[in-house]
Structure 1
Amino acid sequence: MSAPPDAVLAARRRFFSGVPVADDALALPILRSWTRCAERGLPVAGRLRAEPLTQSELAARRERHEVLRRRCRPELEALHAAANASDSIAILTDPSGLVLDTVGSADFADRAAKVALRPGVSWSEAETGTNAIGTALVERRPVEVRGAEHYAEAHGILTCAAAPIHDPFGEIAGLLDLSGPASVPHLHALALVQLAADQVEHRLFEGAFPHHTLVRFHADPSYLGTAREGILVFEDYRLVAANRPGLALLGLGWDALGARRFSDLFEGALGRAGEERRVRSVRGDVMLRLDRQALIVPPPARPVRPPARAEAPAAPEGPRFDPQTEKDLGRAVRLLDAGVPVLIQGETGAGKEVFARQMHRRSARTGRAFAAVNCAAVPEGLIESELFGYEEGAFTGARRSGHKGLFREADGGVLFLDEIGDMPLSLQSRLLRVLQEREVTPLGGGRPVAVDFALICASHRDLKQLVEQGAFRADLYFRIAQYTVTLPALRTLTDREALVSRIWQELAPAGDAPLLSAECLAVLAGYDWPGNFRQLVGTLRVLQALAEPGEALTVDDLPADIRRVPAPPCAIASAPALSGDLDAVTRSAIEAALQAAGGNISQAARRLGIHRSTLHRHLGTHGKAGRAG
């Protein structure tokens, strides 16, 4: 709440004289902002630098945020009446505080323009000092700044109220502001813009998650369907998106995304689409309505996409990595946030795209674009237009309106180039130029367009070897491989039984997985899985579809090629473990593993979950060093 004008002036004199200001003399967000501005050395008197964008630059910025502008149009029009009545203007900004649109009193708009409160000008706190737009973005909450509370004296003619718009992932998508003359009281301005921002945030969920489970809830059923209802979005029962009321009703923060499951928040199962019922939440009873249940009710058939657009992986996208890979993921996210390109290497099906999507979700760019292209799946003649885009009439068959291309679609977010080792050499030089200059020129001419994206590349091929063979540019390799993560093959992981069990549970609707016999689980864990996670998940889906209620799946239910693989030594060697000493158990386990692997030491070591050299030492100890490797 703002302090009285006289109190603000007194606090201002003390602050700019270097005298400490009591916390209760001024609204804390204002005092914190003044302190930040003073530390930056911003001038109090005179004009602050406010260089507006050119018309073409503003048009490009508006195009980049066209979805936001379209979503906010109803709220801007609703604020229009309030703005005209109070001689004010309603403002929409992008996430950085750059003014995109204004509506309202033409008379006040002229006066506001004298202090650069107009489209194309940035009102970030770092550039213009304490103001409702910039300070609300820093504080990440609604803020009102009246008259002399502005840092710059020139802005004392304004009274402004602003509320950030949070997207379903907790990132700020933009901001709404209502600004008017400081000489006129604006009693309800903050409530109006906050309500408008709530409405926009509520609308952001419309059609945004067609293949996810969407839950609406509130303690008072009359709020269902309004901007005050809680909204949670689940993917494979893991919370992946939410609105602020939903998190507040459960006492959670944005860090709950990706970390909580449905069973952590509510008692019982999800239920059926369209069903309303009372459920117990972590904070008491609520009325819950399931909008869509993508895990039970099959989603409508997806439209066919061009091959360049990589589909979301069929496997669950929640973390299912071993501890070392999870550690590598944390490092990769930090480097991605620092602008360092990351290269993911690994066999086909090892989870390279899943790893890349997790990097995106955990990075500072979560909620922004994730543009993916499989360089091996696109014909050589099309990949250039898919990446760079093209102008109208660039070639026969080009769309009349042209095409932005993935580089521009990824602007502000993450570009994922899968199987980059299959990119044609002629295109590698153009990609290198984009990475160096951070701008892209569409096919068919046109002005270069600046782009800002984080880069993740992946390949199952040995790029170093391709460089030595002359099939991959060395300068591009060193540009994209500043940090490399190598994902392990599934067969190299030691605790595969636990891994298979976890994925088996995650794939089951409502966690109600069919029964899986111990022998069947042992064979699944012992199989080499040449297709890695992709093959494993596909096999488990088939088994769940074939399962009979109340009956355990056995080895006989497995596909023939998997069924022929003997169970791992832990099951075979269980009898000696009950009666013999440790050496006898060890000898028995080694014999069983070698027999199952046909005498191959490397395969036997993988089955035992130990390194090959360790197995060699045991073979030497037990007099079997001559066995084939």
Structure 2
Amino acid sequence: MTSLQSRHIDNVYSITTGAALADPAASLVHKSWARCVRDHGLDPSRPSPARILPAQEVRAHQQQLEHFLRAARSGMEDIYRRVADLGYMVLLTDAEGITVDYIGNPAWDDQLRKAGLYLGADWNEAHAGTCGVGTCLIERQPMTCHQTEHFDATHIALTCTTAPLFDHSGKLTAILDVSALRSPEARESQHLVRHLVAIYARMIEDADFLRSFRGHWILRLGSAFGLVDVAGEVMLAFDEGGTVVGANGGARQAFAGRALGGAISEWLHMPMDAIWRIGNGGASAMPFAHTVLLPGGGEYHASLLAPRVRRPSVATPAAPAARPNDRLPPLERIAGDDPQMQKLLAQARRLVDRGIHVLVEGETGSGKEVLARALHGASGRAAMPFVAVNCAAIPDSLIESELFGYTPGSFTGGRAKGMKGLIAQADRGTLFLDEIGDMPMALQTRLLRVLSEGEVLPLGAESPQRVDIAVVAATHRHLPGLVASGRFREDLYYRLCGAVLKLPPLRERGDMRYLIEGMFNEEAAAMSSPVRLSEEAMQKLLAHDWPGNLRELRNVLRLALALCSDGRVGVEDIQLQLPARSGHVTPANVARVAASSADDPDGIAATELVELLRRHRWHVARAADELGLSRATVYRHMKRHGIAPPRSRPLADD
């Protein structure tokens, strides 16, 4: 131990045992020293080497920041180019103080690793003592920990300047650190580096904000007239209906941490038309002539960034005009004035961003995924992935690896680099589990752990990874009946049905004209077809029973658009493939299936299934629809009971 280290240890002892720490004006460093002794149980006389985590643990920490790392890496590379010649390196840690990325001079690798300025280094204050990263995690503000301000004598040659990084929800996500193995003794030598780190921290946060809300309108406000279009200090993201869904760090500060939601016109105290005009200014000679006065004071220049969505490369002059409901919020678009749907949507709006899992019940084709996507689009997760999983369509042999993923070499035939599962792909977004009633029992147990613990364990992995997902499940089956027959876990059922939304079938809805017009316009726009729907054709559509619900309606409209001529869909173009029939999912059907399942733990009774198939002339899809089951499930029951169709007639599957 050097004499400098001995003097440093004596100094730490004198400060942490003195009365000076009772002074509220004590420095951040001295307060941290006290925490190290009092709360963390660290001993300054026992310096410890840098703690480096194994590669597998580091990967787990990196996976939790996968999306954020992309924006952060670009900022790290840019700041490193500016400070590398001065002997600095750059590292990024997660919210636990674990280094998940770093850039340094390869010639200094050994020295950097020994000093802990390396991938996998643990800079949490509880282990490393007072340091740039660990203390910044607690104080949550830019700071410099220079040389002998470190608690551990092992680190007193270092200088570390850090700034916290927050995601668009205001959650502390990472720490940006610029450090050097040696530097001038004067602390003032780090002032410029501190300003640089703070600037780049804000740039990384804003880059992540723009990426997260690239599908939304973004209002950028800046004090510099000519820079607001590229460097907005205050940014608000809002949807087509004008509801604020995101705020960057500058906006959270400017609006005093106001909760998300509400109309942007209310936030700014200006009419919505005036906000839309900001976007139109891009074609003028002075595109940033718009100014906004914030409620708390301060005048800002404004710029409006349109959603970055994929649009057709060529717009045809005859394309249908935008519909009035195009500007409605996601949940408002899916229904007209039908009382049942308006009651359901009112309930759905109250569930958005409340952390409650939702179970959607409804007949096949009634729009369960449409509702799930609308819930996602109305939430603060709208810019993140929406991952849909059809639990009945994935083969039993693949569903586990598809859902949970696997590591390299987990099994023969797997991808050489492993695979990220669908649950992990939905991290920070929404996971939609369609046909949840058809999920095998073994997988139900694993899914329950995901929902209860918030973590997923890929096949072959030794440690789980954290996931943050909103879950919407859907079924056209009677889950309580499956629970009663022991074919669906009761604890999983109650975990999924935090709230239950029951979609009415099309034949019970009173907004059919709204649905037909909206879907017809969508399909016409997709075909770039300037076509109108005749009133006679509309009346024929309104009179139909729609046993296939929205899915059948869309297919009929697509066919009509393909068949029509002279820019008009007439009654002769409406081809209804199936007549109205009574084989819908009804409470009586559900009760009958549940009762037969109770008598036969393996599924539907063989005699009942044969009778049903005969009645439908061995059309499996129609039999499945009446039972409220998927086609794949009916096939499984037929195989289990050894049921085969008559040889004179092939098994119908359409």
| Coarse TM-score class (shorter-chain normalised) | 0.5 to 0.7
1:270 matched residue in structure 2: 276
SS of the residue 1:76 aligns to? helix
Q: Is the 8 A contact 2:360 2:503 kept in 1?
A: no
Whole-angstrom distance in 2 between the partners of 1:9 and 1:537 = 79
Whole-angstrom distance in 2 between the partners of 1:121 and 1:164 = 17
Rate the CA distance shift 1:74–1:478 in 2: closer, same or farther, 3 A: closer
User: Cα deviation per residue 1:532-559 (whole Å; 9 max; x = unaligned)?
Assistant: 9x989857967999xxxxxxxxxx99x8
2:261 matched residue in structure 1: 258
SS of the residue 2:420 aligns to? coil
Rate the CA distance shift 1:536–1:468 in 2: closer, same or farther, 3 A: farther
Q: Kindly report which structure 2 residues correspond to 1:449-528, keeping only aligned pairs within 5 A, or say none.
A: 450-454=464-468, 456=471, 458-460=473-475, 461-472=477-488, 474=489, 477-479=490-492, 481-482=494-495, 484-487=497-500
Q: Which amino acid aligns with 2:192?
A: H
Q: Which amino acid aligns with 2:250?
A: P
SS of the residue 2:290 aligns to? strand
Q: Which amino acid aligns with 2:203?
A: Q
SS of the residue 1:221 aligns to? coil
1:375 equivalent to 2:405? Answer no
How does the TM-score come out when normalised to structure 2? 0.59
SS of the residue 2:176 aligns to? strand
2:198 matched residue in structure 1: 194
Whole-angstrom distance in 1 between the partners of 2:424 and 2:269 = 41
User: Cα deviation per residue 1:289-338 (whole Å; 9 max; x = unaligned)?
Assistant: 222168xxx85269xxxxxxxxx9942599998998788778x63xx7xx
Q: How many residues align?
A: 479
1:72 matched residue in structure 2: 72
Q: Kindly report which structure 2 residues correspond to 1:401-420, keeping only aligned pairs within 5 A, or say none.
A: 403-410=419-426, 415-420=431-436
User: Cα deviation per residue 1:499-556 (whole Å; 9 max; x = unaligned)?
Assistant: xxxxxxxxxxxxxxxxxxxxxxxxxxxx999569x989857967999xxxxxxxxxx9
Whole-angstrom distance in 2 between the partners of 1:544 and 1:279 = 37
Q: Which of 299, 308, 311 lines up with 1:300 in the alignment?
A: 311
Q: Which amino acid aligns with 2:494?
A: A
Q: Which amino acid aligns with 2:482?
A: L
Q: Kindly report which structure 2 residues correspond to 1:549-560, keeping only aligned pairs within 5 A, or say none.
A: none
Greater relative contact order, per chain length (Cα 8 Å cut-off, separation 6+): 2
Q: Which of 402, 424, 446 lines up with 1:386 in the alignment?
A: 402
Q: Which of 269, 292, 312 lines up with 1:280 in the alignment?
A: 292
Measure how far apart 1:22 and its partner are. Answer: 2.7
SS of the residue 1:53 aligns to? coil
Q: Is the 8 A contact 2:145 2:161 kept in 1?
A: yes
2:17 matched residue in structure 1: 16
Q: Is the 8 A contact 1:81 1:104 kept in 2?
A: no
1:136 matched residue in structure 2: 136
Whole-angstrom distance in 2 between the partners of 1:535 and 1:404 = 41
1:222 equivalent to 2:226? Answer yes
User: Cα deviation per residue 1:101-135 (whole Å; 9 max; x = unaligned)?
Assistant: 33345687655544433211221233323322122
Rate the CA distance shift 1:224–1:385 in 2: closer, same or farther, 3 A: same
SS of the residue 1:204 aligns to? helix
1:291 equivalent to 2:305? Answer yes
Whole-angstrom distance in 2 between the partners of 1:459 and 1:471 = 16
Q: Kindly report which structure 2 residues correspond to 1:79-118, keeping only aligned pairs within 5 A, or say none.
A: 79-104=79-104, 110-118=110-118
Rate the CA distance shift 1:110–1:288 in 2: closer, same or farther, 3 A: same
Whole-angstrom distance in 2 between the partners of 1:536 and 1:427 = 42
Identity of counterpart residues, as a percentage? 26
Measure how far apart 1:425 and its partner are. Answer: 4.3
Rate the CA distance shift 1:53–1:395 in 2: closer, same or farther, 3 A: closer
Whole-angstrom distance in 2 between the partners of 1:117 and 1:131 = 12
Q: Is the 8 A contact 1:9 1:148 kept in 2?
A: no
SS of the residue 2:119 aligns to? coil
Whole-angstrom distance in 1 between the partners of 2:256 and 2:10 = 37
SS of the residue 2:72 aligns to? helix
Whole-angstrom distance in 2 between the partners of 1:41 and 1:449 = 26
How does the TM-score come out when normalised to structure 1? 0.61
Q: Is the 8 A contact 2:64 2:465 kept in 1?
A: no
Rate the CA distance shift 1:167–1:190 in 2: closer, same or farther, 3 A: same
Query: Greater shift after overlay, 349-358 or 54-63?
Result: 349-358
Q: Which amino acid aligns with 1:469?
A: S
Cα RMSD between the aligned structures? 5.0
Whole-angstrom distance in 2 between the partners of 1:245 and 1:384 = 43
Q: Is the 8 A contact 1:346 1:459 kept in 2?
A: yes
Measure how far apart 1:238 and its partner are. Answer: 1.3
Whole-angstrom distance in 1 between the partners of 2:247 and 2:348 = 28
SS of the residue 1:164 aligns to? strand
Task: Give 5+ residue unaligned stretches, structure 1.
Answer: 1-5, 303-311, 337-341, 492-526, 546-555, 565-629
Measure how far apart 1:207 and its partner are. Answer: 5.1
Measure how far apart 1:478 and its partner are. Answer: 1.0
Q: Is the 8 A contact 1:218 1:230 kept in 2?
A: yes
Task: Give 5+ residue unaligned stretches, structure 2.
Answer: 1-6, 314-327, 335-341, 523-534, 544-654
Whole-angstrom distance in 2 between the partners of 1:193 and 1:116 = 19
User: Cα deviation per residue 1:459-514 (whole Å; 9 max; x = unaligned)?
Assistant: 34442221223432x3xx314624743346589xxxxxxxxxxxxxxxxxxxxxxx
1:179 matched residue in structure 2: 179
